[in-house]
Amino acid sequence: MFRRLSFIIISTLALWTGASAQINTDQVMRIGRNTLYFEDYVLSIQYFNQVINAKPHLAQPYFYRAIAKLNLEDYLGAEADATLAIERNPFITDAYEVRAVARQNMGKLAEAVDDYDHALTDMPVNRGVLYNKALALTDMKDYSRADSTFEILIDAFPKFDSAFLGRARMRLLTNDTIAATADIDHALALNRNAVNGYIMRADIAINSHRDYPAALADMNEAIKLQPRYAGFFINRAYLRYMTDDYYGAMADYDYALQLEPSNTVALFNRGLLRSEVHDINKAIDDFSQVLRIDPMEYKAMYNRAMLLADIGDYDAAIADLNTVIDAYPQFAAAYFMRYDVKRRKGDMNGAKTDYDRSMSLAGSDEMTPTLMADNTGDEPATETQEEVKRRFESLATVDDNSEPDQVYSNQNIRGKVQDRNLAIEMEPMFALTYYTSPTELKQSGDYIKEADEVNATRALRFLLQVTNHIPAMNDEDVIRAHFSSIDYYTSYLSTHKARPIDFFGRAMDYITTRNYDQAITDLDRAIELAPDFTVAYLMRADARARNIMTDIVHEPDQSAPAGAQVTLASREAIDNWQMVIADLDRVAKLSPDMAIAHYNKGVVLARLQDFTSALRAFSRAIELKPDFGEAYYNRGYVYLHLGNRDAGTTDLSKAGELGIVPSYNLLKRMNR
């Protein structure tokens, strides 16, 4: 599938400022604008949040935060912030443009055009606004107004190559291929590096003339300009295939998969090509890989069934066909193939039933799905709840190729964080620890009143901190210090009257050195001595959870939903998780205002696939702590798992605003 023209994204900032009474607010705004200019979008949002909290009546911080969110592709959040800026100051022309771009990316085309028109009243020949308005009108199929807008744009900016490409696209939609080709040629004459021009001209060569050599030449030029884009190699592989260059096509699919190992289009098409050249086992491997990424990709399943039948694995072929038929009960070809497999297997009665059914369907007017073609077609414009759930689950099962300890380092909060290949998973539970990994977004750990009270007693050998990303223990001196601390507590307890805090302190050392069984034993003793020891219950829940996770087999069931990150292999495992929940319930009873207790319970409930209860727990955490970014993220995660796209994206947008970096990555991937 050839790439569409992308929208022009605002890259320059309006140079307007307003008087502010407090110097510190001015300074924070200035720092925020500086970080925005240097593309530190996530960090800039945190600065603008500070200004908004101090002076919510100002329009500027909402406007700049909208720009940051727009660059992070959080279009819902950008629209909301631009609206808030306009409500506070309706004369900010740039805010209308920002909101228009956000709305255009969300498909709110009529509203976007209204905003562009408002911006054009103050700047009638703004190149970006005219261009984006023309694209929006084209997508609305208002070709007359789109053509007029392109005319104004080209008259004002006759050397703007993207204007000619945009008009070419509009002309293609009205079947004026000759005029479209002329516009593309003119754009390439203005700019030989206009990659979209080569893609569009190749598309015309394929669809209008079947001129595959000409299309191949243009695709070669596109690859020279963007040699790291997998989609171009997939397209060229198709063109090489059509010109009988099977080796070249295979090489392009291989290289596309080097660039994007989880690209299902490349895997599927390579599987088709391998099956055509009779490399059956490798073709089956490709289709199986597609199904590992998206278990409901029926085209891959149907084609795998054909190949499994060819190699005599009739049971596996029938299993695949059963799944396809369950999804598409009117698909005559699937019944006919299953008839043939059953016949070869010797199941003549079953074969006859399928044969009769296939003949009946073939003679009817029922529509059948196209499961034999490649999967390069466009996604439907709207998705059902089940489709949202399916797509989210397919994202959540893709392997992560980033280093876990880099996800929260400072270098990974800079720039377009939504483009990074992060694992799609929930934010983990919070716990007490002696160590944290501060970043520019979070200079210190989170706060629990009870932990602060323990620190104030100075009864522990180390200070308690709160985090949900405990760093790895790689420093041998630090590890030795905690083993020494364990020895100290053991010696002390053998010669002194036992105190709850001493068992708790030794338990913390055991947890730090990953000895969870001993930690649980010590926390049991601490709780026996002090039944109202809130943080002891909190840490016993954490130690029990970590113990369960350690015992889990690290080969999850491929058929389990992606949100279920724990394989519940036994009744014992479920009982152990219930003990974790019981401890967290006790924490919530002892400390009713502790949001983290409800958050942690939500994480456990989601792992147990009790998503309705998990939503309630995360919502309660947010009620207690309205700026709880991790709770918004996890609630959004659960909403998406349940197929509730609107609620999920709203929560993810809020989580990103509160500094949860993976939110933007998941937002982008759900919006593809």
Task: For residue 593, tell me if it sits in a domain.
Answer: yes
Phi–psi pair at 200, nearest 5 degrees: -65, -40
**Percent over 70 (pLDDT), the chain:** 82
Could you give the CA distance from residue 503 to residue 83 in angstroms, rounded to a whole number?
Answer: 55
DSSP state of 433: E
pLDDT digits (tens, 9 = 90+) for 190-221: 999 999 999 999 999 999 989 999 999 999 99
* H or E segment to which residue 110 belongs: helix 109-122
pLDDT at 419: 46
Could you give the CA distance from residue 252 to residue 160 in angstroms, rounded to a whole number?
Answer: 33
pLDDT at 480: 85
Strand partners, 433: 465
Could you give the CA distance from residue 356 to residue 349 in angstroms, rounded to a whole number?
Answer: 11
Q: How confident is the model at residue 380 (pLDDT cuts 50, 70, 90)?
A: very low
Higher pLDDT, 535 or 672: 535
DSSP state of 514: T
Task: For residue 653, tell me if it sits in a domain.
Answer: yes
Query: Which among 560, 222, 258 has a CA at the least distance from the CA of 267?
Result: 258
Q: How confident is the model at residue 529 (pLDDT cuts 50, 70, 90)?
A: very high
Average of per-residue pLDDT across 501-526:
92
Pick from 193-202, 302-311, 510-519: least confident:
510-519
pLDDT at 416: 52
Which residues, at least 6 apart from 225, have a Cβ–Cβ distance to it below 8 Å? 193, 195, 198
Average of per-residue pLDDT across 140-152:
97
Higher pLDDT, 569 or 31: 31
- Residue 376's CB: how many other CB atoms inside 10 A? 14
Encoding tokens for residue 490?
A: 């053991």
Task: For residue 16, tell me if it sits in a domain.
Answer: no
- Computed on alpha carbons and rounded to an integer, the radius of gyration of the chain in Å comes to 30
Q: How confident is the model at residue 573 (pLDDT cuts 50, 70, 90)?
A: confident
Strand partners, 446: 466
Higher pLDDT, 375 or 156: 156
pLDDT at 436: 80
pLDDT at 369: 52
Average of per-residue pLDDT across 580-584:
96
178 burial (CB, 10 Å; 0-12 / 13-18 / 19+) is exposed
Average of per-residue pLDDT across 384-412:
45
Q: How confident is the model at residue 386 (pLDDT cuts 50, 70, 90)?
A: low
Average of per-residue pLDDT across 267-295:
95
Query: Which among 580, 638, 630 has a CA at the least distance from the CA of 609?
Result: 638
Could you give the CA distance from residue 184 to residue 161 in angstroms, rounded to a whole number?
Answer: 9
SS (H, E, C) 394-408: HHHCCCCCCCHHHCC
- Position 22 pLDDT exceeds 90: no
Pick from 63-77, 124-138, 406-420: least confident:
406-420
Q: How confident is the model at residue 397 (pLDDT cuts 50, 70, 90)?
A: very low
Q: What is the CATH number of the domain that holds 663?
A: 1.25.40.10
Task: For residue 570, tell me if it sits in a domain.
Answer: yes
- Residue 488's CB: how many other CB atoms inside 10 A? 15
Task: For residue 338, tell me if it sits in a domain.
Answer: no
Q: Which residues of 524-554 are buried (b: 16+ CB within 10 A; e: fewer)?
A: ebbbebeeebbbbbbbbbbbbbbebeeeeee
| One-letter identity of residue 360 | S
pLDDT at 5: 34
Phi–psi pair at 432, nearest 5 degrees: -85, 145
pLDDT at 15: 36
pLDDT at 447: 85
pLDDT digits (tens, 9 = 90+) for 74-113: 999 999 999 999 999 999 999 999 999 999 999 999 999 9
Q: How confident is the model at residue 551 (pLDDT cuts 50, 70, 90)?
A: low
Query: Which among 86, 85, 156, 166 has a CA at the least distance from the CA of 126?
Result: 156
Give the DSSP per-residue string, 459-474: -SSS--EEESSPPP--
Pick from 282-286, 437-441, 582-586: least confident:
437-441
Encoding tokens for residue 348?
A: 């003549």
Beta carbons of 643 and 393 less than 8 angstroms apart: no
Task: For residue 333, tell me if it sits in a domain.
Answer: no
Q: What's the domain count of the chain?
A: 1
- Position 563 pLDDT exceeds 50: no
Label residue 210 left, alpha or beta by phi (over 0 means left) and psi (-120 to 50 means alpha).
left
Task: For residue 200, tell me if it sits in a domain.
Answer: no
pLDDT at 41: 87
The domain in which residue 443 lies consists of 431-670
Encoding tokens for residue 42?
A: 């996530």
Could you give the CA distance from residue 85 to residue 105 in angstroms, rounded to a whole number?
Answer: 19
| One-letter identity of residue 513 | T
Average of per-residue pLDDT across 399-408:
34
- Position 253 pLDDT exceeds 70: yes
Query: Which among 203, 163, 199, 156 has a CA at the least distance from the CA of 183?
Result: 163
Helix and strand numbers (H, E) in the chain are 32, 2
Encoding tokens for residue 51?
A: 């200004």
- Position 415 pLDDT exceeds 60: no
Phi–psi pair at 183, nearest 5 degrees: -65, -40
Helices marked H in 476-627 — which ranges?
476-495, 500-512, 516-529, 534-551, 571-590, 595-607, 611-624
- Residue 180's CB: how many other CB atoms inside 10 A? 25
- Position 17 pLDDT exceeds 50: no
Phi–psi pair at 466, nearest 5 degrees: -120, 130
CA 466 centroid distance within chain? 27
- Position 524 pLDDT exceeds 80: yes
- Position 308 pLDDT exceeds 50: yes
Could you give the CA distance from residue 132 to residue 151 in angstroms, rounded to a whole number?
Answer: 13
Query: Which among 532, 512, 508, 534 has a CA at the least distance from the CA of 522?
Result: 508
Could you give the CA distance from residue 63 to residue 78 in angstroms, rounded to a whole number?
Answer: 9
Strand partners, 467: 431
Could you give the CA distance from residue 70 to residue 41 in angstroms, rounded to a whole number?
Answer: 9
Beta carbons of 412 and 661 less than 8 angstroms apart: yes
Strand partners, 431: 467
- Position 9 pLDDT exceeds 70: no
- Highest-confidence segment of 371-380, 556-565, 574-583: 574-583
Q: Helix, strand or coil for residue 336?
A: helix
